[in-house]
Amino acid sequence: MTLYRNFNELADDVLELAKEILPDQLLYLTTIEENQQMILRLSNDHQRIEIRAGQVFEMEKTLCRHINFEKNEPIWYESISDDERLEDMQDALKALQIESYLGIPISLTNGQPFGTLCAVHYEASQFEEKSIQLLQRIAKLFSYYLELEQFAWKDTLTQLYNRRYLMRQWETEQQHSGALFYLDLDGFKQVNDVYGHETGDKVLIDVAKRLQDSTRSYEDAFSVRIGGDEFLIRFTHQKTKKE
């Protein structure tokens, strides 16, 4: 979430607004990546519901797997223990003390799923259509903010971080040790001159993917497109293997 400035403050505001609509529910925001769902922020720590910020679940074992992100349609279950469709998940949900669930999809404007805005309760609940529609509007506004922040900090072609993000990191994290690697592509101008700029763009995108793969197993590492065919990789002193 380092891509987004003041993300926690914004997330808390979103949850506070949602709480005005469903005051009795535990509300939380999640993000989805690589078939996993992470709990980002909660409206409050509910003593009976066993959900905490930072928890990670396999998508196939979550209720959010049923959300239709392509059509941007929410799902809800007012009484999970009475719903035969959820028979395979009832034991796991009972362990979490979840009896009712509402999931609102959050997607970027390009259709890429970001995550969900969810409401859960330890008892059966009724979700009114008006409440669901209001929560969808909140999720939509939230997605617009995410889109603007992504545009501000990422290179539109390669989806690597841009120079502006690098400058911000240097200003805010000067105390962190590590290593910087600068590289450019020899002969790249010839690719553009001989094969055209469209082919050159494909080369840059492929290079960006390889750089992202090279940093995937390093904690807090990231790659930057400085401009043209110039790139920078930043590594911290600590390496963390991702399973």
- For the chain, domain boundaries: 7-153, 163-236
Q: Which two tokens stand for residue 22?
A: 């469903």
| Residue 11 Cα distances to 142, 169, 208, angstroms | 8, 22, 30
Per-residue pLDDT averaged across 187-216, rounded?
92
Q: Residue 77 CB: number of other CB atoms within 10 A?
A: 24
pTM value? 0.68
DSSP conformation class of 122: S
When the pLDDT of each residue in the chain is averaged and rounded to a whole number, the result is 87
Q: Which two tokens stand for residue 239?
A: 């390496």
Note the pLDDT of residue 1.
47
In this predicted model, what pLDDT tens digit does every residue of 132-164 receive, in sequence order? 999 999 999 898 887 777 777 788 899 898 888
Distance CA 154, CA 172 (A): 18
CATH of domain 163-236: 3.30.70.270
**193, pLDDT greater than 50:** yes
Q: What is the token pair recorded at 58?
A: 């396999």
CB-hemisphere CA count at 13 Å for 109? 9
Which residues fall within 8 angstroms of residue 3, CB to CB, at 6 or more apart?
149, 150, 153, 154, 161, 165
pLDDT one-digit tens code per residue, 29-68: 999 987 899 999 999 866 789 898 889 999 988 999 889 8
Percentage of the chain beyond pLDDT 70 is 92
Q: Which CATH superfamily groups domain 7-153? A: GAF domain (3.30.450.40)
Q: Who wins on pLDDT, 178 or 163? A: 163
Would 7-153 and 163-236 be classified into the same CATH topology? no
Q: For residue 237, which amino acid is it? A: H
pLDDT beyond 90 at 9: no
pLDDT at residue 4, as a whole number? 53
Residue 177: how many other CB atoms lie within 10 Å: 7
pLDDT at 130 over 90: yes
